Chains A and B, each alone.
Chain A
């Protein structure tokens, strides 16, 4: 049973971690909080099932296409709406409210496009469960874990080993210095939003086979991913992964060893307790003033 809990915790922790990375990426690059991250995941799940089930693409191709579509949505939101608001002098509070509006639009837009009925995500694997000797595990759970790992490693490589990724980090560190060396700061910011949306969409499409696809899929998951991002140190992309894993383990083990009714109470209470002792999160990330 312990092994099942660990695998379950790693899976859901991975989901929180990937979503949390998106929160931190946006915060680090633009200083903004994005309240639509959960809905990026939901919309991505719908896009993913459309490519896989209705268009008939192989699952890996469907995932890549989902990333591309969601990247475009995230990038466009930043470049055509967020930037305009900031240029017109909107305070950050209003810009954040704009992201809240975006979340409503995405959720209700999904309902209008695909209907309010839960959509079945077809089985990806021909086997129902994989025998690991001591227990049986659904291959979809291992797949989600694998995709979350690929997202984390992929983002790390992109941000640290590629020129454009370095440009994103440079623009986040010092906007003026970045401009002065010829970095297109607005483009890097748009890309950060695009990456956040793309990753959320990919993880949404990957959990579709387990949870089905419905309009409130990302709602609670998004909240807990945010808690994980804060716990890790809001703005620290890899702290978000650690924080997400922490949330996943706490939630799963509370369900397993205490009571399933109170899992969310424990997760958010633990967050408050953590912040009481480590106000800047586990990786002590300084908040942008």
Chain B
């Protein structure tokens, strides 16, 4: 065989091999899943909420993959436990970004953790959607972090409206000593002042407190005709029970924590007479769903787990996960952080359980509305001032 012939055959093989390799690369690329990282408290005091968020994300993941994933690419999730600590959240975020190279991150409900992670993802240009409601994050210069929940001021203005309608004159305020509570104080003070009521008592208590006897006694000593509580984690039902155990029978006002089913489940009759405002209504049956997205979520959750979520944070997680999926689907390049972020700030009219999300202002916020509710007869109902007042007149 001549040298020319050998060279021709070798060249043909090289071209064929190169084409095959290129095709394989394209196939591998197309098969590479999109990874969404998640940091959650799966142990520690936040484990109860974290467990429900994890279950919720699994539901949303199954639904998203059933709909074709991200333009044909499967979505997978990687979850790390924060142990309900900020340090844990930071380590989780570092692993997700540096080691796992995720395309987006879904955060937990603790604003302190969201704030710490927001600082990290900013320099690494990874989309981060957190569930915390405090105004401490994201800051104006942070372009990659977004809130998948209503800002704290929404529920606060909501329950202050209830205070005004009820006609309370003397308000006692009990706040948890965490980022969540500390951040809300200014807004609560201003909003309560707008109602015309006088704040006769206001104090922080240590986070994760179980014994509230002394602080409640102090508050009740001022004879308030309305009590505002701003608790977190496992505190809400304990605080409500202990307030009632000390003989207070008046109205209690609170934020979205009032929607958590534990308040009724653990508090029982003590939970009656609470007014709160929330973006979500935690339904106790699928039939109680207020819209189609909630119904679809709860139906799938019940089919898979045989129970319904009892935490409002689970609902936040569902909407937030779907928002991330929406951004990944519409991004020019879902593997590039800037592209995913650009797609996120184009989300304009996304229908979630909480209502319509719009992130085009690019200020990190996408949800402005909350709904007023009340608990009477151990059931969450739409707030009705006539019925609420009538309960206390009995």
Contact = CB atoms under 8 A, between A and B. Distances in A.
Nearest to A252: B214
Contact of A220 (B51, B208, B213, B241): B208
A110 B257 CA distance: 25
Size category, A interface: 35 or more
Given A8-B211, A129-B247, A210-B245, A118 B234 contact: yes
A214 B234 contact: yes
Contacts of A136: 246-247
B47 interface: yes
B43 A108 contact: yes
Interface string B42-54: 0111011011000
B99 to A, nearest CB: 25
Given A140-B245, A212-B266, A221 B210 contact: yes
B48 A260 contact: no
B48 A117 contact: yes
A120 B221 CA distance: 28
Interface residues of B, number: 37
Contacts of A12: 211, 213
B268 A120 contact: yes
A255 interface: yes
Contacts, number: 110
B265 interface: yes
B372 interface: no
B216 to A, nearest CB: 9
Nearest to A12: B211
Contacts of A154: none
A175 interface: no
B213 A11 contact: yes
A118 B213 contact: no
A211 B210 contact: yes
Interface string B214-253: 1101100100000000000010011001101111000000
A135 B221 CA distance: 11
B271 to A, nearest CB: 11
A142 to B, nearest CB: 11
Contacts of A11: 213
Given A212-B234, A260-B214, A118 B266 contact: yes
Nearest to A4: B217
B310 A220 contact: no
A48 to B, nearest CB: 15
15 contacts: A4-B246, A8-B211, A12-B211, A116-B48, A116-B50, A117-B51, A117-B310, A118-B262, A118-B266, A135-B247, A214-B48, A215-B48, A252-B214, A253-B214, A263-B206
Interface of A: 1, 4-5, 7-8, 11-12, 108, 111, 115-120, 123, 128-129, 135-136, 138, 140-141, 210-212, 214-217, 220-221, 251-253, 255-256, 259-264
Interface of B: 43-45, 47-48, 50-51, 177, 203-206, 208-211, 213-215, 217-218, 221, 234, 237-238, 241-242, 244-247, 262, 265-268, 310
